[in-house]
Chain A
Amino acid sequence: MKLKSHLLPEFIVERIESRCNKCGVCVKQCPWEVYRWNEDGTDIIIDYTKCVGCQRCVVYCPNKALIVKPYEGSYRPNAYWTKEVIMDIKKQAEQGGVILTGTGNDKPYKVYFDHIVLNASQVTNPSIDPLREPMELRTFIGRKPDHLEVEFDEGDYIIKTEIPPNLVIETPIMFAGMSYGAISYNAFLALAMAAKEFGTLFCTGEGGLPKDMREEYGSCAIVQCASGRFGVDPEYLNCAAAIEIKIGQGAKPGIGGHLPGEKVTEKISETRMIPEGTDALSPAPHHDIYSIEDLAMLIYALKEATNYEKPVFVKIAAVHNVAAIASGIVRAGADAVVIDGFRGGTGASPKIIRDHVGIPIELAIASVDQRLREEGIRHKCSIIASGGIRNSADVVKAIALGADAVYIGTAALIAMGCTMCQKCYTGKCAWGICTQDPELSKRLNPKIAAKRLVNLLRGWSLEIKEMLGGMGINAIESLRGNREHLRGIGLEEWELRVLGIKGAGE
């Protein structure tokens, strides 16, 4: 029995009639069927109840005739039973299921980044002008020995110590795991192209790496080995720069993944090594990892399979005991730990999980970094902060709290065109990013999208250099874990303690 929907519209579409010349671009651009021609093709009818607010029509309307804005009509104002709460209940009453959503946690939890301010030099040490002086962002990801032995030989010093494999990136920003399948081939390719051009890395997510990309982009790919083991074979592992074991994801800690069969096209089926049209289910846990010693076995199995030439990352969601978990991961042999905070994005997650599970990345980074130092093993791995990095200041703060580098996912998608409409799970992304519909995905030109990504990396890198120079620092490594350059504003005593920073003015 189909129930009458009690839901209110989410957006309203206004058309400035004097500007609209009925060209029909909106009809073509909107995959949500908000617009349709009337029967005799003389007018365009708008059904705004279907609008998700992706703004595709607004941007592409050649006459700038459209305005899409949140639907203002609402229930009696109530600070507790908000419109969102009421709507969610109604949705479930109508459908009896789990509410799905996309992107990251959008709730108004405290944003610690916005309660931390940075330092700058005055008088006693000079600020350094990045336009005149070298300003270095080169970063190494991987395990480091605790000391080097050197030998003097024929006028040169030679390092005798064997150094584990490390990756070099030219800016401390990498692209987070977003699988081919979750995102379109063009979006996936754009990330690879941008990473290669800028000298950084992209992570494949758990959807494998298409064979035709391996030769050109393998050297800047972090290939994921997740609970579904999609696309994992020796060639996949060996073509890459690094391997990432994905245990958890910030947007849905404790939850697996599900790529519906209709998205498993021929190419995705080949890349993931599953039959075309079948659901790709990633279990919540790895069924061969029920303990830390099992993780160690997988880490070393992957190292064996790649002749100990590739760093192995382990990615976990930031949860309550993240510091102890990270310590175990480092001791299990990981070369880098990726911590994904609760603002991290997703293509599809139960909304209730996305909004209520996990902890903020700022607190997680601070406590992991501190714990690894207390145990004297901080140098044995790199820490990669992931989940909700919005701008270059967030990058700087994450590094000063203790990260070696950051992953960006959502910000990269936004650079390509994403407007955070949260409908990734529907497969109808109007911007051609989070879809396998060939008509939609061809909207995204990989070259142009890569250009936008490179521009973003360049812009952020320039800003990071400005901030570093202001602090009197000319190499990013002198910022790492350097909490002296951070101060908190509007934070409680316990928050300052966990972050390991002083309050402003102290």
Chain B
Amino acid sequence: MIRDDKEFSACGLFGVMDRSGRRFNGEMAIRALKNMSVRGNGLGAGFAVYGLYKDFKEYYCLHVMIQNKDLDVKKKVDGFLAKNFDVVYDEEIPVNENSKTVDPPMFWRYFVHPKSHGENISDDDYVIKNVMYINTKIKDAYVISSGKNMGVFKGVGFPEDIADFFMIEEYKGYIWIAHTRFPTNTPGWWGGAHPFCILDWTVVHNGEISSYGTNKRYLEMFGYYCTLKTDTEVMAYIFDLLMRRQRLPIEVVAKILAPPMWDQIDLMDEKKRRFYTALRMVYSPLLVNGPWTVIVAHHGEMFGLTDRIRLRPITAGEKGDLLFLSSEESAIRAVCPDLDRVWTPHGGEPVVGRLSSGALKRVVR
């Protein structure tokens, strides 16, 4: 494991979505990240692809990382999964052994369906529970991706090396989000690269969360345990808790993570003031403080958001059905020079791209 105790920070984020649901390969994502090479230092990069496994789209796909390619660990994972899921298909994720990555772990993907569990929880929550089990209880095994018809590919290296290792260009999807990393306070290890994923929620993040301890300990009350040694993981869990479990729309969730200042709230009309006051009162442990920008995706939706005082950059661009989000406008221009529109959203103002409901049905059902 590479340990990096230095304090640097500059991550590069990129996301692109075709809002008609058309699938395309990873070439744009790779090129955009290459354009932001100063935002990474070769200690982490990754990609999330939506609409990836259309032949298995009704099954959860678990991407499991096995440290040190330890087959005993894999056996434990196999045994655990066989006990709790019907595994309909599994294989080692094909990789290019000639890529420039150093000492990669083994990656295996399992297409699974929850066994009838008799527990009074949804399939999604059942999957989360079992993912948490593997991540916390089976040493050296980490589930890095656990959604349906999507997948995360990530590791230690420059983005082009990771893309080369996983042969990213072979894959197609209608949303790509990607990340190049400049590790800050957490070790540069394969599991610590972005995107972070729980079910079909993925997050790429630039920043350092100063409210980490508060956020993490609140999430623990709801059964989320942060195991991947980075503060970005909390983001993925917050979105899962608020958007999937509590069914709050991103427009509301944005105001929980990055609420307006009390000075502003106090000047709002009665109705709005009550709303924001209640939101800040109840969800204060989920205010995400410090400098951050995230791009988040789940099926049918991609959005970008920055912290309440916008201490990290984000730019949005549009071209026809394509929506781009990135740390830098230059990365968007590099892959799409003639944009219809380009803009910089305010802190706490989400930029949201959505599939039409018809297109969404084609992707997930």
Binding site for B on A (CB under 8 A): 121-126, 128, 133-134, 136, 138, 140, 144-145, 147-148, 150, 152, 156-159, 161, 163, 166, 373, 376, 378-379, 400, 471-475, 477-485
Contacts and interface: CB of A to CB of B under 8 A. Distances in A.
Interface string B209-231: 01111100110111000000000
B275 A157 contact: yes
Given A124-B184, A159-B278, A485 B283 contact: no
A440 to B, nearest CB: 42
B261 interface: yes
Given A373-B220, A483-B213, A475 B185 contact: no
Contact of A156 (B185, B208, B222, B275): B275
Nearest to B265: A138
A484 to B, nearest CB: 4
B290 interface: yes
Contacts of B128: none
Contacts of B248: 148, 150
A480 B214 contact: yes
A482 B283 contact: no
Contact of A472 (B7, B220, B222, B291): B291
Interface in B7-30: 7-9
Given A125-B208, A138-B262, A379 B184 contact: no
B289 interface: yes
Interface residues of B, number: 44
Contacts of A471: 210
6 contacts: A123-B8, A124-B208, A147-B282, A472-B289, A475-B289, A480-B284
Given A124-B185, A166-B281, A472-B210, 14 more contacts: A123-B8, A125-B311, A145-B282, A150-B275, A157-B251, A159-B279, A161-B278, A163-B281, A376-B222, A379-B221, A474-B308, A478-B210, A478-B289, A479-B211
Contact of B284 (A128, A140, A473): A140
B207 interface: yes
A150 B282 CA distance: 13
A478 B211 contact: yes
A159 B270 CA distance: 13
Contacts of A157: 251-252, 275
- The residue in A133, A482, A483, A485 that gathers the most chain B C-beta atoms within 10 A of its C-beta is A482
A373 B271 contact: no
A479 B214 contact: yes
A204 B208 CA distance: 43
Given A134-B261, A148-B278, A484-B213, A477 B220 contact: no
Contacts of B281: 140, 144, 163, 166
Given A124-B8, A145-B282, A482-B212, A472 B275 contact: no
A376 B287 contact: no
A166 B263 CA distance: 20
B192 to A, nearest CB: 15
B309 interface: yes
Contacts of A166: 281
Interface in B105-128: none
A400 to B, nearest CB: 8
Contacts of A483: 213, 217
B357 interface: no
Contacts of A373: 217, 220-221
A479 B212 CA distance: 9
B282 A123 contact: no
B285 A379 contact: yes
The 4 closest A-B pairs by CB, nearest first: A478-B211, A477-B284, A484-B213, A482-B213
B213 A485 contact: yes
B281 to A, nearest CB: 5
- The residue in B252, B263, B283, B285 that gathers the most chain A C-beta atoms within 10 A of its C-beta is B285
Contact of B309 (A133, A145, A163): A133
A134 B282 contact: no
B263 A134 contact: yes
Contacts of A479: 211, 214
Contact of A124 (B7, B211, B271, B275): B7
Nearest to A402: B217
B309 to A, nearest CB: 6
B286 to A, nearest CB: 9
Contacts of A163: 278, 281-282
A398 to B, nearest CB: 14
Given A134-B263, A157-B252, A144 B210 contact: no
Contacts of A474: 289, 308-309
B246 interface: yes
A124 B283 CA distance: 26
A471 B8 CA distance: 17
Given A378-B221, A483-B213, A475 B278 contact: no
Contacts of B249: 150, 152
B343 to A, nearest CB: 22
A121 B249 CA distance: 32
B363 to A, nearest CB: 25
A478 B286 CA distance: 8
B39 to A, nearest CB: 14
